[in-house]
């Protein structure tokens, strides 16, 4: 990312000297010779960072600082103070300066402060851009997904919603099948009628029939009153049969009859009831396999999957991860009353590399626990569950060509030591060298502690 830096100083030499130094560091530098012109330049909206002298005629650096921090939060201001004026530096920090440097400016020091400030700014901008994407069209009926795969799913959902067809939603656990079902119902003409959900796996074989179709008084022991079933309750609306693969053959036949004739009887009843409902079924099993194995009726299978919507696993649509992270982060930060503005690069990259076997549900849980663990304003690698931070944090050590063997060795050892948080035995183990050797080398380099 190319950053625009504005330098405000009434002394021409300093102004131009700093601008040149910033250009050499790879930034776009702009200059203003007084506070008034500086503020006008900032108002144009594309300045990412301001470096301002403190003492200037008319509009002072302090006024610039106050105005920029008030009107452009997120644009860091670095203040240049005269030598020995500690008080004004303290004041500047109190007024929200990102940092201060005393004149004459040490250019290396300036470059470092600017680098730090722009990195922070980059995170804020990234977060803001993702927020904006979230607020715009990238979320569909509360389902986040800008990947081509999810755009295809959304298209299918719209078509299915507009039709009367039954829908079969397939996909691994946690990919969002229930959200898809909600979307189909909410976008359909049945949206003002009930959407009744049946979690088939949670019901015992004996219960499921009376749950679905209801029962008459006295139909079985314990049936003290007549009870309407879920199909009756879903009349005019939709019924969601979650984990349909768990239903036994006996009930499969009855569901098939509802599909074909729109008719059924309550358990223990003789009266035939009519029902008009759309069936939306979901499964994380491979129903085709189940049909081959004769565990699932073929005729039912084909009637359920008039429209089939397959929701791909998260690892096949990783572009959706950043947006999901941002959304869950805002949600859980708010719920936990925490002021968390983003996530640092290492944590973001770990989340990106992980394979997410539990899909979005797992990512959601991971973000909730990260928010709870987080002590600062940014999620870091340490806040993530160990299986995610470890599995994916392959650290890289880059050795420049032409580096002396001895220096390369030192670099490898020191960086591994850092990765292992200073644990010498562990470092010796990973590098496959003796502990004594490691100690001797550290002694040689004078870093044994
Ligand atoms: N694209 C998405 N955007 C936002 N939240 C999502 C998305 N997909 C799933 N979620 C959230 O992830 C969790 C799991 O989703 P859901 O219950 O719909 O998955 P499922 O496919 O039905 O899983 P299972 O097969 O285990 O029942 C829910 O809390 C849901 O809100
Ligand atoms: Mg589900």
Pocket test for ligand 1, best of 176, 186, 312, 329 (most atoms within 8 A of CB): 176
DSSP-based three-state secondary structure for 223? coil
Q: Ligand 2: distance of its center to the CA of 297 in Å? A: 22
Q: Is 178 in the pocket of ligand 1 (CB under 6 A)?
A: yes
Shared domain check, 285 and 154 = yes
Lowest-pLDDT range of 271-285, 292-306, 355-369, 391-405: 391-405
Residue 397 belongs to some domain of the structure: no
Shared domain for 74 and 161, answered yes or no, is: no
- Give the pLDDT score at 129: 77
Phi and psi angles of residue 317, each rounded to the nearest 5 degrees, phi first: -145, 60
Burial of 194 (0-12, 13-18, 19+ CB in 10 A): middle
Do 146 and 270 fall within a single domain?
A: yes
CA 56 centroid distance within chain: 45
In-domain check, residue 225: yes
Could you tell me the pTM of the whole model? 0.67
Which atom of ligand 1 lies nearest, measured to the CA of 363? 12
Closest C-alpha to ligand 1, atom 25: 173
What is the per-residue pLDDT across 135-165, written as a single tens digit (0 to 9) for each?
665 668 889 998 999 999 999 999 999 999 9
Q: 308 and 350 share a domain?
A: no
Nearest CA to ligand 1 atom 26: 173
H or E stretch covering 78: strand 77-81
pLDDT value of position 251: 93
Q: What is the pLDDT of residue 396?
A: 65
Beta bridge partners of 274: 263
Looking at the domain assignment, is residue 399 inside a domain? Answer: no
My answer on whether omega of the bond before 395 falls inside 30° of 0, hence cis, is no
Q: Which domain range does residue 349 map to?
A: 315-392
Same domain, 60 and 194: no
Q: Please report, for the domain that includes residue 383, its CATH number.
A: 1.10.8.60
Q: What is the largest CA-CA distance in the chain?
A: 99
74 Rama class: left (phi>0) / alpha (psi -120 to 50) / beta: left
Is residue 189 domain-resident?
Answer: yes
Give the pLDDT band (50/70/90) at residue 394. Answer: low
Question: Is 400 part of any domain?
Answer: no
E-assigned strands of 99-150? 99-102, 139-140, 143-144
| Same-domain check for residues 308 and 202 | yes
Nearest residue (by CA) to ligand 1, atom 30, is: 176
| Domain-embedded: residue 70 | yes
pLDDT tens by residue, 200-225: 988 888 889 999 999 999 888 888 89
pLDDT tens for 340-373 read 988 988 898 889 888 899 999 999 999 999 999 9
**What would the mean pLDDT of 258-278 be, rounded to a whole number?**
94
Please list all protein residues whose beta carbon sits less than 5 angstroms from ligand 2, which is an ion: 178
Residue whose C-alpha is closest to residue 330's, from 153, 120, 144:
144
* Tally of structural domains, the chain: 4
Looking at the fold, whether 125 and 156 belong to one and the same domain comes out as no
398 falls within a domain: no
Domain boundary among 105, 134, 163: 134
The answer, yes or no, to whether any atom of ligand 1 lies below 6 A from the CB of 143, is yes
Mean pLDDT of 102-126: 88
pLDDT band at 1 (very low <50, low <70, confident <90, very high): confident
The CATH number assigned to the domain holding 418 equals 1.10.10.60
With the most atoms of ligand 1 within 8 angstroms of its CB, the residue from 179, 280, 287, 319 to mutate is 179
Q: Say whether both 232 and 100 belong to one domain.
A: no
Higher-confidence residue of 132 and 180: namely 180
Looking at the fold, whether 273 and 211 belong to one and the same domain comes out as: yes
Looking at the domain assignment, is residue 429 inside a domain? Answer: yes
Q: What is the CA radius of gyration of the chain?
A: 32
Instruction: Report whether pLDDT(392) > 60.
Output: no
Residue 178 φ/ψ, nearest 5 degrees: -70, -35
- CATH number of the domain bearing residue 52: 3.40.50.2300
**What is the per-residue pLDDT for 391?**
61
| Residue at a domain's end among 87, 114, 134 | 134
In this prediction, residue 132 has a pLDDT band, given cuts at 50, 70 and 90, of confident
Q: Are 276 and 383 found together in one domain?
A: no
Q: Are 303 and 194 in a shared domain? A: yes
pLDDT, tens only, 313-325: 999 999 999 999 9
Domain harbouring 265, CATH code: 3.40.50.300
Cα 363 from Cα 368, distance rounded (Å): 9
Same domain for 356 and 334, yes or no, is yes
pLDDT of res. 256: 95
State residue 136's pLDDT score. Answer: 62
Q: How far apart are CA 217 and CA 446, in angstroms?
A: 87
Domain limit, last residue, from 104, 134, 164:
134
Confidence band of 39 (pLDDT split at 50, 70, 90)? very high
């Amino acid at each position: 990312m190319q950053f625009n830096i504005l330098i405000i100083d009434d002394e021409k030499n300093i102004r131009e000297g700093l601008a040149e130094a910033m250009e050499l560091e790879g930034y776009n530098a702009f200059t203003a010779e007084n506070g008034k012109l500086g503020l006008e330049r900032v108002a144009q909206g594309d300045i990412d960072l301001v470096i301002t002298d403190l003492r200037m005629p008319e509009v002072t650096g302090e006024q610039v600082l106050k105005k920029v921090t008030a009107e452009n939060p997120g644009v860091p201001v670095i203040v240049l103070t005269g030598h020995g004026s500690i008080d004004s530096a303290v004041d500047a920090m109190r007024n929200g300066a990102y940092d201060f440097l005393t004149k004459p400016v040490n250019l290396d020091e300036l470059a470092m402060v600017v680098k730090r400030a722009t990195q922070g700014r980059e995170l804020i901008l990234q977060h803001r851009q993702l927020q904006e994407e979230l607020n715009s069209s990238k979320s569909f009926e509360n389902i986040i997904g800008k990947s081509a795969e999810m755009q295809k799913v959304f298209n299918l959902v719209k078509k299915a919603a507009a039709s009367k067809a039954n829908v079969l939603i397939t996909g691994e656990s946690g990919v969002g099948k229930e959200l898809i079902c909600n979307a189909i119902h909410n976008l359909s003409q049945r949206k003002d009628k009930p959407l009744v959900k049946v979690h088939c796996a949670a019901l015992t074989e004996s219960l499921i029939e009376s749950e679905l179709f209801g029962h008459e008084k006295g139909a079985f022991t314990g049936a003290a009153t007549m009870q309407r079933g879920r199909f009756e309750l879903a009349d005019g609306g939709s019924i969601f049969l979650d984990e349909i693969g768990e239903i036994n053959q006996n009930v499969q036949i009855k569901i098939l009859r509802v599909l074909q004739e729109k008719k059924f009887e309550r358990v223990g009843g003789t009266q035939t009831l009519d029902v008009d409902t759309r069936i939306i079924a979901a499964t994380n099993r491979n129903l085709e396999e189940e049909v081959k194995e004769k565990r699932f009726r073929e005729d039912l299978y084909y009637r359920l999957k008039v429209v089939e919507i397959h929701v791909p696993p998260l690892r096949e649509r990783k572009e959706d991860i950043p947006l999901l992270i941002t959304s869950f982060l805002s949600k859980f930060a708010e719920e936990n009353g925490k002021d968390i503005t983003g996530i640092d690069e290492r944590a973001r990259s770990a989340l990106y590399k992980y394979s997410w076997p539990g899909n979005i549900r797992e990512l959601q849980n991971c973000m909730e626990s990260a928010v709870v663990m987080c002590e600062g304003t940014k999620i870091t690698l340490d806040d993530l569950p160990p299986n995610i931070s470890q599995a994916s944090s392959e650290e890289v050590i880059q050795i420049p060509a032409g580096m002396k063997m001895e220096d390369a060795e030192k670099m490898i050892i020191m960086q591994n030591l850092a990765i292992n948080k200073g644990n010498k035995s562990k470092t010796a183990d990973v590098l496959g060298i003796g502990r004594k050797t490691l100690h001797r080398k550290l002694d040689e380099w004078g870093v044994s502690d």
